[in-house]
Amino acid sequence: MSKARKRATTRQKLIRGAIVSASLLAFVPVFNQMQVDATPTVSVAEVAPAITQTQVSSTTTAAGSSTRTTPQQVTRSHTRTRGS
């Protein structure tokens, strides 16, 4: 096989590899987007009554970043306090 022919074959393989890789990589965000689209969205009006009945604490660090604890975390912390 001549040098030019070898180079052409290598280029052909690279092109095909790049297209296959790009197609398979594109599959992932498309698949994820479909999962996102399938996730039911809940309106604020539906959630608001539930929020008022749960305890959500928030703390702000010295650096200014805010951390929030979920109701489950609050309950666990509360139980531990009572047990000690």
Query: Can you give the binding site for other proteins, defined by CB under 8 A?
Result: 8-9, 11-12, 15-16, 19-20, 23, 26-27, 30-31, 33-35, 37-38
Backbone angles phi, psi at 67, to 5 degrees: -120, 145
Q: Please give the distance of CA 47 from its chain centroid, rounded to a whole number.
A: 22
Please, which residue, 19 or 50, has the CB nearer to other proteins? 19
56 within 8 A of 74, measured Cβ to Cβ: yes
Nearest approach, Cβ of 2 to other proteins (angstroms)?
14
Say which amino acid occupies 23: S
Report d(CA 59, CA 68) in Å as an integer: 7
- Which lies closer to other proteins via its Cβ, residue 26 or residue 51? 26
Minimum distance of other proteins from residue 49's CB (angstroms): 30
Please, which residue, 33 or 54, has the CB nearer to other proteins?
33
